[in-house]
Structure 1
Amino acid sequence: MLEVGTKAPAFTLPDQNGTMVSLSDFAGKKVVLYFYPKDNTSGCTKQACGFAELYPQFEEKGAVVLGVSKDSVASHKKFEETYGLPFTLLSDPELTVIQAYDVWVEKSMYGRKYMGIERSTYLIDEDGVIVKAFGKVRPGDNPKKMLKEI
C-alpha cells in the first residue's frame, strides 16, 4: 500500500467505453480509487453494487468512484451493463496502475501461491494526495466505509 500523505501516482487508462481516463481529469474532486480482482465474481459484484447504490451520496459529497482491475474493456462494459454501474471502471491488463499503487501481491489459495490484486481502496483529495488507504477490504463493507471517510 502507498502511504497516506503521498501524491497519488498519475495514470491514464481506458474505461468501459474505451475512452481514455486520467486521474488529472478529476482535479478538484475527491476520488475513491478501488482495486478489485475480477469482474462478475461474487465479492467484486457485491462491492461494485454497493458503490452503485451509494453513488448519489458520493456525488453529493463531491466525490467520484473509479474501479480498477486487469479485466478487459469488453469485460468491464458487460459488468457495467449487467449491474447498471453508474461509475467508471478502468482496464489495466498491463498492471501499470495496479503495480504503481502497490496492490499486485502474492496471494495464497488452498496452499497454492499466485500473484493477484489485493482488494484495496484509496481516497485521494482534490489536490491529488492520498488521504486514506485501506488494504484487504471487505467487499460488503467497503462502499459504506468509504462514504463515511469522505
Structure 2
Amino acid sequence: MIETGKKIDTDFELDVVKNGEEKTVNFSELLDRPTIVSVYKRNNTSGCDKQNKSLSEHADWFDKKGYNLVAVSKDTCGSHKNYAEKLDINYVLASDRDYKFAKATDSIVEKKMYGNTYEAPSRSAYVIDTDGTVLGIIEKVNTKDHAHELKELIENL
C-alpha cells in the first residue's frame, strides 16, 4: 500500500456518477480540492451500505471543511445511479472495474471467500491533495463509523 506523503499517478480515467449524471473523467479532475477516496466492494451489501450511509450523513461536514468525497467500487455507473438515489448520496461514485485506483495506490490484496482466493482492492480510504500527494490513509475502514474515523484523520492532518 502507498505511504502517506507519496504521490499517486493520477493520470487514469474512471466512469463516475455525480448529481445523477454519468461521465468519464481523468482522476486528476476529481482533485480540484483535497479529496477523500473511500474504497468499498460493491453496492447493496450490508457493510458497504453502512460505509456509504455514514459518509452520506456527514457529507456536508466534509464539504464545509473543503474536501471532496469520492467512493470507489467495481459497480457500473448504472448501478451507482440507483444506489445514489437509494442512499441519498450526493458525492461522486466512481466505477473502477479495472482497479485503476487500487493499482495507483498499490492496494490490491489477497482475499478469501467461500474457500476461494482472489485479488481485489482493500476496503480503505485515502485523503489525497490536489497534486496527488497522499495526506492520510485508513488501511481498514470501520464500516459503521467511517465518517467519524475520517473526521478524526482530517482533524489530525
Same fold (TM over 0.5): yes
Distance (whole Å) between structure 1 residues aligned to residue 31 and residue 82 of structure 2? 28
Say which SS state the counterpart of residue 5 (structure 1) adopts: coil
Distance (whole Å) between structure 2 residues aligned to residue 85 and residue 123 of structure 1? 19
Q: Which runs of 5+ in 2 are unaligned?
A: none
The residue number in structure 2 matching 1:99 is: 103
Distance (whole Å) between structure 1 residues aligned to residue 47 and residue 53 of structure 2? 10
Distance (whole Å) between structure 2 residues aligned to residue 100 and residue 81 of structure 1? 29
Pick closer, same or farther for the CA change 1:6–1:92 going to 2, 3 Å: same
The residue number in structure 2 matching 1:12 is: 13
Say which SS state the counterpart of residue 9 (structure 2) adopts: coil
Distance (whole Å) between structure 1 residues aligned to residue 25 and residue 130 of structure 2? 17
Distance (whole Å) between structure 2 residues aligned to residue 46 and residue 97 of structure 1? 22
Residue of structure 2 aligned with 1:80, choices 84, 88, 95: 84
List 4+ stretches of structure 1 deviating above 3 A: none
The Cα of 1:136 is off from its aligned counterpart by 2.1
The residue number in structure 2 matching 1:61 is: 65
Instruction: Normalising by structure 1, report the TM-score.
Output: 0.90
What number of residue pairs does the alignment pair up?
A: 150
Instruction: Normalising by structure 2, report the TM-score.
Output: 0.87
- Identity of matched residues, %: 34
Residue of structure 2 aligned with 1:25, choices 12, 24, 29: 29
Distance (whole Å) between structure 2 residues aligned to residue 126 and residue 13 of structure 1? 17
Say which SS state the counterpart of residue 99 (structure 1) adopts: helix
Q: Is the 8 A contact 1:35 1:67 kept in 2?
A: yes
The Cα of 1:110 is off from its aligned counterpart by 4.3
Distance (whole Å) between structure 1 residues aligned to residue 98 and residue 27 of structure 2? 17
Say which SS state the counterpart of residue 59 (structure 1) adopts: helix
Q: Is the 8 A contact 1:30 1:124 kept in 2?
A: yes
The Cα of 1:22 is off from its aligned counterpart by 3.0
